[in-house]
């Protein structure tokens, strides 16, 4: 079945079900903690790559829950999987064998370099698991008393205490100290910095035990990794025993046009993490390990919800649908169309736009450093033009639509973006 047919089959909001008055943001803000600077928009329905607000206005969704809704909204395969699984069995403890968990793990293993999988509920949790595994590996295999994990400046790994510490951006750490010890930051794509850190930090009980890094930095501004840098990283890790951990939470699960970001770099990690697109919007996270699979013993790591029948049953459907409908081909074609269109816009605004970059359907449009313009200015006006976008840092507008986005939808988004840029640069 074609992607277009699937979208057409998706639920279109019934007319007459919308509210004529604006959403009451004040009541919302009185009840919900202000952890997000929200746009004044309340979304209540979706179908394919489109969402509708409470007043019935339609938007093209190029945010996809921040690179999460792999199959868009109300995809028939997901509707079927959610319904089937909730009717059958939605949650039991990991004290028992869960068939859907085993099947999802087998799918991931068959489609990656992984040998074994641990399931949790989010990207931060998957990275926490990787950090714990790396520390135990350091203590028990490498015999390091005080293991250090190298991470990159401008990285993003989550919001728990360990993962904000791993995140190489002070703005996420401010006011939350004392942070977790054992992390050290190096510049991304700079192999000299890694070599220097490994030798300088080898002192007394301290030693570098692992490198945790994104194949493409998402939140840090949609910055793809250099092939030569990652190949040298792999070589250093092979020579020293340092674990190479890839955070595939944003770039993985087909978003880059390949199933895993590391496939762009010609290297395989020892450990990698996934979340976001894995469940297509149903909360799930996973940590995959190659070789070092027996580090965790029963009782050393766990999660009540992690790997439950509901999340795994739906995620398995997302994975199988990606494969069955050959969606990665669409990601490559639509990604190229989007980048070419954005580059054509950038050529018209050289004083404002410095670069367009990305892989597959994770792309960024970077604004010139010396303009007053920030990404949020474009995002706000794009909403008025009917397209949802999200910044990746102050100067980069990010484009992460569902992987089923059509040629016509990319064209519509490009027109809206161009109109938004024309408005903000007037």
Interface positions with ligand PLP (CB under 6 A):
66, 122-124, 127, 156-158, 214, 218-219, 247, 249-250, 275
Torsion 161-167-173-179 (CA) sign: positive
Query: Which residue in 136, 258, 276, 395 is the catalytic one?
Result: 276
Where helices occur in 349-406 by DSSP H, the ranges are 375-384
Q: Is 124 annotated as a binding residue?
A: yes
By beta-carbon proximity to ligand PLP, the closer residue of 3 and 312 is 312
By beta-carbon proximity to ligand PLP, the closer residue of 248 and 325 is 248
At closest approach, how far in Å is the CB of 258 from ligand PLP? 16
Burial-class residue 16 by CB neighbours within 10 Å (0-12, 13-18, 19+): exposed
Given a contact cutoff of 8 angstroms between Cβ atoms, the answer to whether 331 and 254 are in contact is: yes
Q: Is 369 annotated as a binding residue?
A: no
Q: Map 227-266 to HEC letters.
A: HHHHHHHHHHHHHHCCEEEEECCCCCCCCCCCCCHHHHCC
Query: Which residue in 62, 118, 119, 156 is the catalytic one?
Result: 156
Catalytic status, residue 171: no
At closest approach, how far in Å is the CB of 185 from ligand PLP? 15
Q: Is 11 annotated as a binding residue?
A: no
Rounded to whole angstroms, the Cα distance separating 156 from 113 reads 23
Name the residue with tokens 């398995």.
316
By beta-carbon proximity to ligand PLP, the closer residue of 124 and 373 is 124
Where helices occur in 116-203 by DSSP H, the ranges are 123-137, 161-166, 191-200
Tell me which residue of 363, 415, 370, 410 sits closest to 390, measured CA to CA: 363
Q: What is the dihedral of CA 305, 308, 310, 312, to 10 degrees?
A: 120
Given a contact cutoff of 8 angstroms between Cβ atoms, the answer to whether 69 and 281 are in contact is: yes
Element (H, E) at 76: helix 76-88
At closest approach, how far in Å is the CB of 199 from ligand PLP? 28
Q: Is 382 annotated as a binding residue?
A: no
Query: Which residue in 61, 230, 246, 247 is the catalytic one?
Result: 247
Catalytic status, residue 156: yes
By beta-carbon proximity to ligand PLP, the closer residue of 144 and 244 is 244
Burial-class residue 218 by CB neighbours within 10 Å (0-12, 13-18, 19+): buried
At closest approach, how far in Å is the CB of 154 from ligand PLP? 11
For the beta carbon of residue 20, count every other beta carbon within 10 angstroms: 7
Q: What is the largest CA-CA distance in the chain?
A: 70
Element (H, E) at 311: helix 309-324
Q: Is 45 annotated as a binding residue?
A: no
Who contacts 143 (Cβ-Cβ below 8 Å, separation ≥6)? none
At closest approach, how far in Å is the CB of 125 from ligand PLP? 7
By beta-carbon proximity to ligand PLP, the closer residue of 100 and 219 is 219
By beta-carbon proximity to ligand PLP, the closer residue of 217 and 406 is 217
Q: Is 247 annotated as a binding residue?
A: yes
Q: Is 225 annotated as a binding residue?
A: no
Tokens of 231: 């190949």
At closest approach, how far in Å is the CB of 211 from ligand PLP? 15
For the beta carbon of residue 292, count every other beta carbon within 10 angstroms: 17
3-state secondary structure at position 349 = coil
Residue nearest to ligand PLP according to CB distances in the complex: 123
Catalytic status, residue 136: no
Element (H, E) at 212: strand 206-213
Given a contact cutoff of 8 angstroms between Cβ atoms, the answer to whether 241 and 274 are in contact is: no
At closest approach, how far in Å is the CB of 28 from ligand PLP? 21
Q: Is 366 annotated as a binding residue?
A: no
Q: Is 249 annotated as a binding residue?
A: yes
Element (H, E) at 339: helix 327-348
At closest approach, how far in Å is the CB of 108 from ligand PLP? 17
Q: Is 397 annotated as a binding residue?
A: no
Q: Annotated binding residues for N(2)-acetyl-L-ornithine, as ranges?
A: 159, 303
Catalytic residues: 156, 247, 276
Q: Annotated binding residues for pyridoxal 5'-phosphate, as ranges?
A: 123-124, 156, 247-250, 304
Q: Annotated binding residues, as ranges?
A: 123-124, 156, 159, 247-250, 303-304
């Amino acid at each position: 079945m074609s992607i277009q047919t699937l979208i057409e089959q998706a639920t279109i909001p019934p007319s007459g079900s919308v509210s004529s008055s604006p959403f009451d943001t004040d009541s919302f803000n009185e009840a919900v903690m202000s952890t997000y600077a929200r746009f004044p928009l309340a979304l209540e329905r979706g179908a394919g790559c489109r969402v509708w607000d409470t007043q019935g206005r339609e938007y093209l969704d190029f945010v996809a829950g921040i690179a999460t809704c792999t199959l868009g909204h109300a995809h028939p395969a997901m509707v079927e999987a959610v319904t089937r699984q909730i009717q059958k069995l939605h949650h039991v403890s990991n004290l028992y064998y869960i068939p859907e968990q085993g099947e999802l793990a087998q799918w991931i293993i068959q489609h990656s370099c992984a040998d074994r999988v641990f399931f949790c509920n989010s990207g931060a949790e998957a990275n926490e698991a990787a950090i714990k595994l790396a520390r135990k590996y350091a203590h028990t295999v490498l015999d390091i008393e005080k293991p250090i994990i190298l991470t990159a400046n401008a990285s993003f790994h989550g919001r728990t205490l360990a993962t904000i510490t791993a995140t190489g951006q002070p703005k996420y750490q401010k006011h939350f100290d004392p942070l977790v010890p054992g992390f050290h930051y190096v510049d991304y794509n700079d192999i000299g910095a890694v070599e220097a850190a490994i030798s300088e930090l080898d002192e007394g009980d301290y030693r570098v035990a692992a490198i945790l890094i994104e194949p493409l930095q998402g939140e840090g501004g949609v910055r793809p990794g250099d092939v030569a840098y990652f190949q040298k990283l792999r070589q250093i890790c092979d020579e020293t025993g340092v674990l190479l951990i890839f955070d595939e939470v944003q770039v993985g699960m087909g978003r880059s046009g390949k199933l895993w970001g590391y496939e762009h770099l010609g290297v395989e990690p020892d450990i990698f993490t996934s979340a976001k697109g894995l469940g297509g919007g149903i909360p799930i996270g996973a940590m995959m390990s190659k070789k070092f699979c027996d580090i965790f013993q029963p009782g050393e790591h766990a999660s009540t919800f992690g790997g439950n029948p509901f999340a795994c049953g739906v995620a398995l459907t997302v994975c199988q649908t990606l494969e069955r409908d050959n969606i990665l081909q669409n990601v490559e074609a639509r990604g190229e169309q989007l980048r070419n269109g954005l580059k054509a816009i950038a050529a018209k605004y050289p004083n404002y736009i410095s670069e367009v970059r990305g892989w597959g359907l994770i792309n960024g449009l970077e604004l010139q450093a010396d303009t007053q313009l920030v990404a949020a200015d474009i995002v706000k006006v794009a909403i008025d033009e009917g397209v949802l976008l999200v910044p990746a840092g102050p100067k980069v507008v990010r484009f992460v639509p569902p992987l089923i986005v059509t040629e016509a939808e990319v064209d519509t988004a490009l027109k809206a973006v161009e109109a938004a840029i024309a408005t903000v640069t007037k």
